[in-house]
Amino acid sequence: MSSMMQPQIILLKEGTDTSQGKAHVIGNINACTIVADTVRTTLGPRGMDKLIHDDKGNTTISNDGATIMKLLDIVHPAAKILVDIAKSQDSEVGDGTTTVVLFAGEFLKEAKPFIEDGVHPQNLIRSFRNASTLAIRKIKELSVSIEGKSLEEKKALLAKCASTTLSSKLIGGEKEFFASMVVDSVVAIGNDDRLNLIGIKKVPGGHMRDSFIVHGVAFKKSFSYAGFEQQPKMFQNPKVLLLNIELELKSEKENAEIRLSDPLQYQSIVDAEWNIIYDKLDKCVKSGAKIILSRLAIGDLGTQYFADRDIFCAGRVMEEDLKRVSAATGGTIQTTVNNIIEEVLGMCEVFEERQVGNERFNIFSGCLSGTTATIVLRGGADQFIEEAERSLHDAIMIVRRAMKNSSVVPGGGAIDMEISRYLRHHARTIAGKSQLFINSYAKALEVIPRQLCDNAGFDATDVLNKLRQKHASSDGANFGVDVNTGGIADSFANFVWEPSVVKINAINAATEAACLILSVDETVKNPKSESAEAASGGMGGRGGAAYRGRGGRGMRRR
């Protein structure tokens, strides 16, 4: 009896790297845990900063989760998912980027022993999804609305949210100073959603407290031509004309050819050029505008012409600055000087050119429409000012969100402890394995208060025990970590607040990411992926990694 040999079937190209099964899921979890450990120490008011030095020689000092994740340039395909959730948290709510990465890392860490014991990932995923739905419902119940208050009260409450965000940043020492500035700038743009209406200008030198806010527009003096210094630099209630045309003598193109029968005709051609530019300048003057700004150059002739008539002009103004001036003054950007009517001119109360540090700034303040604001930041090192700008961006996003969805929850780990307590309590009412899974989800939520303690150098076990005991009582729902004393305190009474949307988004995104990573049980890597990955930008494109998850064997088509 002859035994037939089983023929070997080769499906994939030689050198293809495949890893699958339980070991693969655990490998992915370990990779994500390492990423979470990288940003772990940046959480909270006592968090440390990271200095990232790239191959171009640029150094960035930051403790903003999304910024660090972007700069780390992670290549592990599963860990890249954490970079994406940090980015999504940043673009959706602006703050809580470190929180979302920590949550995802902790959910996976809690899932790991179950996976090792042979629990099917789908069971974990189902329980985690249920737990996140319950957690979000509980956050909505616990949130406190700040709607219906007067503008002054609302501003004070929003400033509390801003200073909670800023407390964990590099400029946390001056959080009250910057918080009021952020609230003023967000209130100034009102219901307009465009974030670019709030300008942030950076001027090295001076002290942080030399920073100031302009209720209008401020931008650096643009390229100036001869005659610029003779122009007046201060106006009261001027009219503003905004242009997108060149006011400069244009020379003929190199290959232009003009045939003349009489040499005297040449003069008339030269005169025609001059007449065109003088006609344009004259129309600008007749419009009644005292300030003329253009996105394109205003040459020597134009600058001198306007200076002789006591008009201020600036050419080569950056487009975003010009658009902000347009929004602030109510002026419309013109592409021609013909038929300039009163309606297209803008107005502001005061225009002045002021020296700020080493730079000269053109400042439009007291603008009629009042829909813009500009923050001028001062500070010692460039890296410091860059980080200050990122911090203010987070605070501005938070205040915008709090104005739109005006409900807040207590910070300092208080809301996390309360949801954790609620989920543990809920888990007892469930029969079966999911009781254990929801319990581990609840335990993972305690990562925030634990990390706040660790980063401040306190005994995390001691503080968490106090918090658990306090949250078990009827009046302890608002208690969180007190980073000043190393004990616990009522976060709500201490005005440590954050918009509920931050927590809801963080829990949603982190649970999604954790479930996605748990559902992947095989990675297939094409042998050409080293070169192809560079071309396709990571996982996407041909030659990246193909995932097989949720029991399906769908390989990417080659």
| Pairing verdict, β 239-243 and 291-294 | parallel
- The label of the residue with tokens 């003929």 reads 252
Residue of 290, 430, 270, 414 whose CA lies nearest to 347 = 290
Query: How is the chain split among helix, strand and coil, in percent rounded to 5?
Result: 50, 20, 35
Whether the pLDDT of residue 405 is over 80: the answer is no
Burial class (CB in 10 A: 0-12, 13-18, 19+), 425: exposed
Whether the pLDDT of residue 50 is over 80: the answer is yes
| Pairing verdict, β 291-294 and 312-314 | parallel
Q: What is the pLDDT of residues 379-396, one digit of tens each?
A: 888 888 888 888 888 888
* CA R_g for the chain: 30
Instruction: Extract the tokens encoding 101.
Output: 């990465």
Query: Do residues 284 and 247 make contact, with C-beta atoms less than 8 angstroms apart?
Result: yes
CA angle (50 as vertex; 39, 510 as ends), nearest 5: 20
Cα gap 245→40, rounded to integer Å = 52
Mean pLDDT confidence for 29-34: 91
Q: What is the pLDDT of residues 69-102, one digit of tens each?
A: 888 888 888 889 999 999 999 888 878 889 999 9
Whether the pLDDT of residue 253 is over 80: the answer is no
Burial annotation 460-484 (CB, 10 A radius, 16+ → b, else e) = beebbeebbebbeeeebbbbbbbbe
Whether the pLDDT of residue 24 is over 50: the answer is yes
Cα gap 513→525, rounded to integer Å = 21
Domain boundaries, the chain: 17-145+410-519, 216-254+265-369
Higher pLDDT, 517 or 157: 517
Cα gap 148→398, rounded to integer Å = 19
Q: Is the dihedral of CA 424, 428, 431, 436 positive or negative?
A: positive
DSSP 218: E
> Which range among 54-68, 74-88, 259-273, 541-555 shows the weakest confidence by mean pLDDT?
541-555
Cα gap 425→123, rounded to integer Å = 20
Residue type, 346: G
Active site residues per annotation: 64, 97-98, 394
Mean pLDDT confidence for 525-547: 49
Burial annotation 357-381 (CB, 10 A radius, 16+ → b, else e) = eebebbbbbbbebbbbbbbbbbbee
Higher pLDDT, 431 or 258: 431
Whether the pLDDT of residue 276 is over 90: the answer is no
Mean pLDDT of the chain: 82
Residue 380 to residues 169, 202, 211, 303, 452, Cα–Cα distance (Å): 16, 11, 12, 35, 29
- What residue ranges in 4-159 does DSSP mark as E strands? 17-20, 50-53, 59-62, 144-145
Partnered with residue 481 across adjacent β-strands are 488
Partnered with residue 479 across adjacent β-strands are 490
* Percent of the chain scoring above 90 in pLDDT: 18
Cα gap 61→76, rounded to integer Å = 24
Higher pLDDT, 343 or 422: 422
The pLDDT value recorded for residue 544 is 42
Q: What count of Cα atoms within 13 Å lies in the side-chain half-sphere of residue 260?
A: 10
Cα gap 539→101, rounded to integer Å = 20
The pLDDT value recorded for residue 131 is 93
The pLDDT value recorded for residue 548 is 45
What SS3 state is found at 210? helix
Backbone conformation region of residue 149, classed left if phi is above 0, alpha if psi is from -120 to 50, else beta: beta
Instruction: List, in order, residues 6 or more apart from 7 with CB less than 8 Å away.
Output: none
Confidence of residue 546 (pLDDT cuts 50, 70, 90): very low
| Pairing verdict, β 497-499 and 407-410 | antiparallel
Q: What is the CATH number of domain 216-254+265-369?
A: 3.50.7.10
Q: What is the pLDDT of residues 1-22, one digit of tens each?
A: 445 566 667 666 665 556 677 8
Class (C level, CATH) for 17-145+410-519: mainly alpha
